[in-house]
Each structure stands twice: as structure tokens, then as C-alpha cells.
């Protein structure tokens, strides 16, 4: 029965503009991801998701990972049945109980509250950090798309966890991924790089045959459709040529490294089955220093690198 639920073909919506989890088949998933780099060089990885892939259709998960150079890593999560999930019809909010994301004017607000946790952050787009067009792939199972709701934004707020208080003042990216053929159910690896400095933002997110790529210099959107990304240990290179005369190198720091468990929202037998078929997934978010090369010379920036691997 579990194999049929997870591996059988299910129908769903075929349009990214009208896609709704309520109308999707067994493979339907929707996930909001907020990735951030704080002024103290700690990294934040937040995921708010709901899916039909488990035994409980429409269940949701909130996951948070925080890692810094000096403090111990912080991990927090909440899983909820459909009765705990609030999804706004206009895509302006996704909440799992009291935890989740809400659109707030031009920005988004992130809240999480528990006995030992109180978090409130706001991500506001910078001049070069507006939304991007959706990148999508289509298969026999249906359509899966990804887009940046905020390509680069100012991230500010406060996190309190036990005796730990953290003032957040940095930058971040907010993406949304949803559809009927999620790469995670195909064991598809993911490599993503986000680069930001005043007046420049770039994102390359490669997974499951889909490439979500963008670049903005000031108020000008660059042609990033030819985006390329390669990794060699802690050295990452990117290239937008010939579409845009932009390339560069990122030296990732050894720490921080926010690592997360995936397969949230699934039962233990379902997790065992998927791991047996595709391998155990590991998700890692790291930060580093970027050097961007363009027609006017080079300049420094900060970077976030996200990987998902199956072993």
C-alpha cells in the first residue's frame, strides 16, 4: 500500500498559474523556503510546506535550522495535520499552527512560537530584489515550478530560544516551489547559489531538470537563461554568459553549515521506502565570499549556497 501511495502515478493540475494542492494528486507538494545570512555570518534555513505525498493528505511541516560560527546549531520543527494548516487562497500565507509565513505589503513576515522559541522576522525586497518569473518542468505526472518571491531582501527581526537572544540584521531570499512532480520524490539532487550586494542580486537554482536563474544589476534585469554552476569542494563558480557578461567565484566558509533532515511530513515506513529507492537526502546551507566579474570590473558580494544530495 505504501509503495502504491508513493510511487503510483496520480493526476493533478497542469498549470502553474492555477495550481492548488487541494486539486493535486498524490504527488502534490508546495514549499516556501526562506534562506538568510545574518550580520554575524550565521545562516538561516526555513521551510514551510504542505503536501499530499504522505498518508495524511494536506498535512504541513515547518522547519527551521540556524547555524553560526560560535553558537551551537539550533533546529526547530512542527508537523501538523490538515486541521492545523492554513493556506490563503491568494497565496498570501502558509501557516502550520502558529508558525509560518505571511505576506505583509511588499514583504513577508515569518513567525514561530513555542515554549522555548519566539521568532519574528521580516523580509523586505531591495530595489534589485523583486519577484522573478517561474521556471517549470512538465512530466507525465504533471508540472513542477519554482520562483523567487523575493530575489533579495533585507532580513530583520529577533529570535529568542531559551537563554539565547539573536538580533537578525542581514539579507535573504524567499522562493516558492510547487507542483505535481516534486524533484524530492524522484531523488533529484539540487544545487543553488544566491549572491547579493548593494545594487546586485543573482540566483541560480538547479534541480530536477529545471533551472530557476535571475540576475539584476541596479534596476536592470539581466538575461540569465544561460546560467551555469559548478562546484569543486568549497569553491563554486558561476557564469551567465553569453546571455549576460557576468561570472564569478565563491569561496565557501567551512562554518557555518546548516544541515537539515528531509522527508518531513512522511511516516517512518514511507521515509524508509523512499530512502531505500533513492538514498538518504541531506540538505546543507553554507555561506561565503563572492567575487563577481562584469564589464565594469570586479566587485565583492556575499553568497549563500544550498545543496541537496542523496546517498
Is 13 within a domain?
Answer: no
Report residue 310's pLDDT band, with 50, 70 and 90 as the boundaries.
confident
Is 4 within a domain?
Answer: no
Contacts with 232 (C-beta within 8 Å, 6 or more apart), sequence order: none
Position of cell 544589476?
217
Tens of pLDDT, residues 24-78: 777 788 999 999 999 999 999 999 999 887 667 888 999 999 998 778 899 999 9
- Which of 288, 295, 160, 167 is CA-nearest to residue 222? 295
Sign of the four-CA dihedral 6, 8, 9, 13: negative
- Burial (Cβ within 10 Å: 0-12, 13-18, ≥19) of residue 181: buried
User: Using an 8 Å Cβ cutoff, are 27 and 34 in contact?
Assistant: no
Is 7 within a domain?
Answer: no
Measured torsion, CA atoms of residues 170, 199, 173, 100, in degrees rounded to the nearest 10: 70
Report residue 303's pLDDT band, with 50, 70 and 90 as the boundaries.
very high
Record the pTM.
0.89
User: Using an 8 Å Cβ cutoff, are 264 and 281 in contact?
Assistant: no
Measured torsion, CA atoms of residues 147, 150, 156, 160, in degrees rounded to the nearest 10: -20
Is 60 within a domain?
Answer: yes
How far is 32 from 190, CA to CA, in rounded Å? 16
Percent of the chain with pLDDT over 70: 86
The helix (run of H) or strand (run of E) holding residue 275 is helix 268-278
User: Using an 8 Å Cβ cutoff, are 57 and 24 in contact?
Assistant: no
241 vs 8, which has greater pLDDT? Answer: 241
Is 15 within a domain?
Answer: no
Which range has the worst mean pLDDT, 124-133, 218-227, 255-264? 255-264
- Average model confidence (pLDDT) across the chain: 86
Tens of pLDDT, residues 142-174: 788 899 999 999 999 999 998 889 999 999 999
Is 74 within a domain?
Answer: yes
Report residue 136's pLDDT band, with 50, 70 and 90 as the boundaries.
confident
How far is 142 from 13, CA to CA, in rounded Å? 7
Q: What is the mean predicted confidence (pLDDT) over 281-302?
A: 94
How far is 302 from 74, CA to CA, in rounded Å? 22
Could you write out the DSSP letters of every residue in 67-106?
Answer: E-SSSPPEEEEEEE-GGGEEE-TTSSEEEETTEEEEEETT
Is 294 within a domain?
Answer: yes
Is 5 within a domain?
Answer: no
Task: Give me the CATH number covering residue 262.
Answer: 2.40.370.10
Position of cell 492548488?
20
Phi, psi of 220 (to 5 degrees): -100, 125
User: Using an 8 Å Cβ cutoff, are 232 and 250 in contact?
Assistant: no
pLDDT at residue 184 above 50?
yes
* Predicted local distance difference test score (pLDDT) of residue 52: 83
How many domains does one find in the chain? Answer: 1
Q: What is the mean predicted confidence (pLDDT) over 276-305?
A: 89
Q: What is the mean predicted confidence (pLDDT) over 108-121?
A: 96
For residue 156 the three cell numbers come to 530583520
* Predicted local distance difference test score (pLDDT) of residue 4: 29
Identify the domain containing residue 198 by its residue range: 20-310
The helix (run of H) or strand (run of E) holding residue 52 is none
Amino acid at each position: 500500500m505504501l509503495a502504491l501511495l508513493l510511487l503510483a502515478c496520480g493526476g493533478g493540475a497542469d498549470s502553474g498559474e492555477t495550481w492548488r494542492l487541494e486539486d493535486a494528486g498524490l504527488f502534490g507538494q508546495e514549499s516556501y523556503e526562506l534562506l538568510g545570512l545574518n550580520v554575524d555570518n550565521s545562516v538561516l534555513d526555513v521551510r514551510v510546506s504542505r503536501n499530499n505525498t504522505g498518508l495524511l493528505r494536506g498535512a504541513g511541516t515547518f522547519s527551521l535550522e540556524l547555524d553560526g560560527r560560535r553558537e551551537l546549531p539550533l533546529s526547530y520543527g512542527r508537523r501538523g495535520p490538515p486541521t492545523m494548516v492554513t493556506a490563503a487562497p491568494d497565496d498570501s500565507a502558509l501557516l502550520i499552527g502558529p508558525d509560518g509565513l505571511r505576506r505583509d505589503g511588499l514583504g513577508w513576515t515569518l513567525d514561530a512560537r513555542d515554549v522555548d522559541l519566539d521568532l519574528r522576522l521580516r523580509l523586505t525586497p531591495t530595489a534589485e530584489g523583486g519577484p522573478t518569473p517561474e521556471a517549470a518542468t512538465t512530466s507525465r505526472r504533471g508540472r513542477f515550478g519554482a520562483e523567487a518571491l523575493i530575489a533579495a531582501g533585507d532580513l530583520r527581526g529577533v529570535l529568542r530560544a531559551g537563554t539565547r537572544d539573536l538580533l537578525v540584521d542581514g539579507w535573504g531570499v524567499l522562493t516558492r516551489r510547487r507542483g505535481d512532480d516534486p524533484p524530492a520524490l524522484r531523488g533529484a539532487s539540487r544545487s543553488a547559489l544566491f549572491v547579493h550586494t548593494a545594487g546586485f542580486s543573482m540566483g541560480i537554482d538547479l534541480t530536477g531538470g529545471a533551472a530557476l536563474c535571475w540576475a539584476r544589476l541596479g534596476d536592470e534585469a539581466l538575461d540569465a537563461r544561460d546560467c551555469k554552476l559548478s562546484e569543486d569542494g568549497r569553491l563554486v563558480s558561476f557564469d551567465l554568459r553569453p546571455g549576460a557578461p557576468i561570472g564569478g567565484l565563491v569561496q565557501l566558509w567551512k562554518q557555518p553549515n546548516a544541515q537539515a533532515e528531509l522527508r518531513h511530513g512522511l511516516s517512518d515506513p514511507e521515509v524508509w521506502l523512499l530512502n531505500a529507492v533513492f538514498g538518504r537526502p541531506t540538505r546543507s546551507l553554507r555561506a561565503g565570499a563572492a567575487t563577481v566579474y562584469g564589464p565594469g570590473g570586479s566587485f565583492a558580494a556575499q553568497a549563500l549556497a544550498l545543496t541537496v544530495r542523496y546517498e
